[in-house]
C-alpha cells in the first residue's frame, strides 16, 4: 500500500459528510476537518442509566451532576437530553459559566452551582435562577443582593462531615444553618454532604449528618431535600439515598470502581465514545523506530498507522502502555508515545488498515468501554472522559 499526498486528498474528498450532523462543541462554532477526532453521545444509553438509577433508589429524585463539561459530553447537550426525564430533579455543576450555559440553552429545571462565587457571581446566579452551594456565613451579602434583585437567594447548605474539602464543619453547621434560616432573603432548598469513600468512616459521616439534620428539623428548620449519595454511594450506601441522590459518573454509564461492574446492582451503559480516522499507513522495517525518544523499535517488519488524536484531545499519554483501539472489529495496540495530536498503532505483518478507516478509542461495546481502556493502560477512567477537549465536535447518536 503506497500512501501519497494525492491519495490522502482524494480519500478526504470521498469521506461521508460526517460534519453535517455533528453538534457544535460548547465552545467552538467553526467548521471541523473531516480528519478531526470526535466525541459521540449515546442518548438512549444516558436515558437507560437514569432509569437504572431510579430503579435502584426507589424513585427518589435525581440531581444529575454534569460538571466539567458534562463529563466530556458537553454540558448543555447532555442537559437537553436529560431534562425531559421525570426522574431528573435538576442539574449540578462546578463552574458558574456552566450554570449560565444551561440557562442560555433554555434549561428550565433547577441548577445548583457547587463551586465558589463572589458577590458579583451571586447576583448573576440569582438573576438567572441558579442555586448556590453555601457553607460560610454571608447573610448580609445575601440580603443585599436579594433586595437589589427583588428575588430570594436559593441555596443548598454544604456540611463537611469529614472529607475536609469544602463545607461548614459538622460541629459548626447547626449555628450556620440557624443563621441562614433566619434571613427572609434566603431559601434553603437542600442540605448536602460528601462521603470520603472510606467504607468504615462513611458510616460515621452519615451518622453525623443525620444527627445534625434531626436536631435542626426538631427545631422547625426546613433543610430542603437532604442529599449525600454520589455514584459511589449508589453501590455502597443504600441508607444514604435520603431525599435525593446526586450521581455523576453513573449517569454517563461508567463504573468508577472495578468491583461495581460485576456487583449486579446497576447495569450501566457507557454513553460516550471517542473516535478518529486513520490519516497515515506505513511499513516500518526491522530496527526502525516510531515516536519521541524512539519509544518503539520494530523487532521485525511491521505495518503501523497514525491517528490524529493525542493527549491534547484527551487520550492519556499512558495509553501507549497497553491501551488498544478498534478498527473494523479488530483491536490494535497503541504504541510508541502519545503526542499532543497524534498516536500510532501497530497493525501487524499485513496492511489490514486503510486511510480514513474509523478508529474507536473507547465507546459502549464490551472490550472498548472506558473502563476497559483505563484498566489496560493504568489510567484513571475519569481521565478518559473529563479530559476530552471541549473543542472536539460532539455528535448525538
Which CATH number goes with the domain that contains 388?
2.40.37.10
Instruction: Write down the pLDDT at residue 276.
Output: 98
Is position 71 within any domain?
yes
Is position 18 within any domain?
yes
Whether residue 279 sits in one domain with residue 184: no
Instruction: Round to whole Å and give the CA distance between 252 and 104.
Output: 23
Whether residue 317 sits in one domain with residue 181: no
Whether residue 190 sits in one domain with residue 330: no
Residue 394 has pLDDT above 90, yes or no: yes
Is position 200 within any domain?
yes
Whether residue 147 sits in one domain with residue 120: yes
3-state secondary structure of 268: coil
Where is the domain boundary, 218, 235, 261?
Answer: 261
Whether residue 220 sits in one domain with residue 299: no
> Which band of pLDDT confidence, cut at 50, 70 and 90, is reported for residue 24?
very low
Whether residue 231 sits in one domain with residue 316: no
Instruction: Round to whole Å and give the CA distance between 81 and 40.
Output: 13
> Which band of pLDDT confidence, cut at 50, 70 and 90, is reported for residue 32?
low
Domain that holds residue 374: 5-40+271-396
Instruction: Write down the pLDDT at residue 21.
Output: 32
Indicate the number of domains in the chain: 2
Instruction: Write down the pLDDT at residue 383.
Output: 85
**Is residue 72 a contact partner of residue 314, using CB atoms and an 8 Å limit?**
yes
Is position 75 within any domain?
yes
Mind listing the pLDDT tens digit for each residue in 73-111? Answer: 999 999 999 999 999 999 999 999 999 999 999 999 999
Q: Mean pLDDT for the chain?
A: 92
Mean pLDDT of the 34-44 span: 95
Choice between 277 and 18, residue whose per-residue pLDDT is larger? 277
Whether residue 386 sits in one domain with residue 351: yes
Mind listing the pLDDT tens digit for each residue in 192-232? Answer: 999 999 989 999 999 999 999 999 999 999 999 999 999 99
Mean pLDDT of the 11-17 span: 37
Closest CA to 43 of 77, 70, 71, 68: 77
Whether residue 29 sits in one domain with residue 158: no
Lowest mean pLDDT of 13-27, 115-129, 192-206, 332-346, name the range.
13-27
User: What percentage of the chain reaches a pLDDT higher than 70?
Assistant: 92
Mean pLDDT of the 350-379 span: 97
> Which band of pLDDT confidence, cut at 50, 70 and 90, is reported for residue 31?
low
Instruction: Write down the pLDDT at residue 23.
Output: 38
* 242: alpha, beta or left? (left if phi > 0; alpha if psi -120 to 50): left
Which whole-number Å values give the CA distances from 165 to 112, 124, 161, in the listed order? 18, 25, 10
Where is the domain boundary, 231, 261, 291?
Answer: 261
Mind listing the pLDDT tens digit for each residue in 247-304? Answer: 999 999 999 899 999 999 999 999 999 999 999 999 999 999 999 999 999 999 999 9
Residue 11 has pLDDT above 60, yes or no: no
Mean pLDDT of the 4-22 span: 38
Where is the domain boundary, 196, 230, 261?
Answer: 261
Residue 323 has pLDDT above 70, yes or no: yes
Whether residue 302 sits in one domain with residue 229: no
Residue bearing cell 441548577: 111
Whether residue 224 sits in one domain with residue 332: no
Is position 266 within any domain?
no
Residue 142 has pLDDT above 90, yes or no: yes
Relative to beta strand 324-327, strand 330-335 is: antiparallel
Which CATH number goes with the domain that contains 79?
3.20.20.10
Whether residue 284 sits in one domain with residue 210: no
Whether residue 327 sits in one domain with residue 343: yes
Is position 152 within any domain?
yes
Amino acid at each position: 500500500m503506497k500512501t501519497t499526498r494525492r491519495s490522502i486528498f482524494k480519500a478526504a474528498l470521498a469521506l461521508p459528510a460526517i460534519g453535517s450532523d455533528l453538534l457544535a462543541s460548547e465552545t467552538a462554532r467553526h467548521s471541523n476537518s473531516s480528519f478531526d477526532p470526535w466525541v459521540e453521545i449515546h442518548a438512549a444509553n444516558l436515558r437507560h442509566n437514569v432509569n437504572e438509577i431510579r430503579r435502584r433508589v426507589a424513585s427518589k429524585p435525581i440531581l444529575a451532576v454534569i460538571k466539567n463539561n458534562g463529563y466530556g459530553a458537553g454540558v448543555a447537550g447532555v442537559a437537553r437530553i436529560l431534562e425531559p426525564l421525570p426522574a431528573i430533579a435538576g442539574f449540578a455543576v462546578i463552574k458558574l459559566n456552566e450554570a449560565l450555559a444551561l440557562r442560555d440553552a433554555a434549561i428550565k429545571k433547577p441548577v445548583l452551582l457547587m463551586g465558589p462565587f463572589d458577590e458579583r457571581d451571586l447576583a448573576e446566579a440569582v438573576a438567572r435562577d441558579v442555586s448556590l452551594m453555601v457553607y460560610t456565613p454571608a447573610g448580609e451579602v445575601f440580603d443585599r443582593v436579594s433586595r437589589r434583585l427583588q428575588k430570594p437567594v436559593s441555596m443548598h447548605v454544604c456540611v463537611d462531615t469529614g472529607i475536609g474539602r469544602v463545607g461548614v464543619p459538622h460541629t459548626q453547621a447547626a449555628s450556620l444553618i440557624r443563621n441562614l434560616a433566619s434571613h427572609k432573603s434566603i431559601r434553603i432548598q437542600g442540605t448536602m454532604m460528601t462521603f470520603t469513600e472510606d467504607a468504615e468512616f462513611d458510616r460515621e459521616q452519615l451518622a453525623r449528618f443525620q444527627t445534625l439534620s434531626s436536631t435542626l428539623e426538631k427545631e422547625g428548620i426546613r433543610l430542603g431535600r437532604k442529599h449525600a449519595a454520589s455514584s459511589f454511594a449508589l453501590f455502597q450506601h443504600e441508607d444514604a439515598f435520603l431525599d435525593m441522590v446526586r450521581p455523576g459518573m453513573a449517569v454517563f454509564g461508567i463504573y468508577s470502581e472495578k468491583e461495581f461492574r460485576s456487583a449486579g446492582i446497576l447495569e450501566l451503559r457507557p454513553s460516550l465514545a471517542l473516535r478518529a480516522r486513520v490519516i497515515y499507513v506505513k511499513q516500518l522495517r526491522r530496527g526502525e523506530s516510531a515516536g519521541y525518544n524512539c519509544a518503539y523499535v520494530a523487532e521485525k517488519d511491521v505495518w503501523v498507522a497514525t491517528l490524529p488524536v493525542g493527549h491534547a484531545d484527551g487520550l492519556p499519554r499512558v495509553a501507549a502502555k497497553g491501551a488498544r483501539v478498534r478498527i473494523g472489529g479488530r483491536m490494535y495496540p497503541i504504541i510508541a508515545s502519545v503526542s499532543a495530536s497524534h498516536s500510532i498503532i501497530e497493525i501487524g505483518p499485513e496492511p489490514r488498515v486503510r486511510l480514513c478507516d474509523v478508529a474507536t478509542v473507547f465507546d459502549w461495546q464490551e472490550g472498548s468501554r472506558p473502563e476497559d481502556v483505563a484498566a489496560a493502560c493504568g489510567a484513571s477512567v475519569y481521565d478518559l472522559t473529563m479530559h476530552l477537549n471541549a473543542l472536539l465536535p460532539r455528535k448525538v447518536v
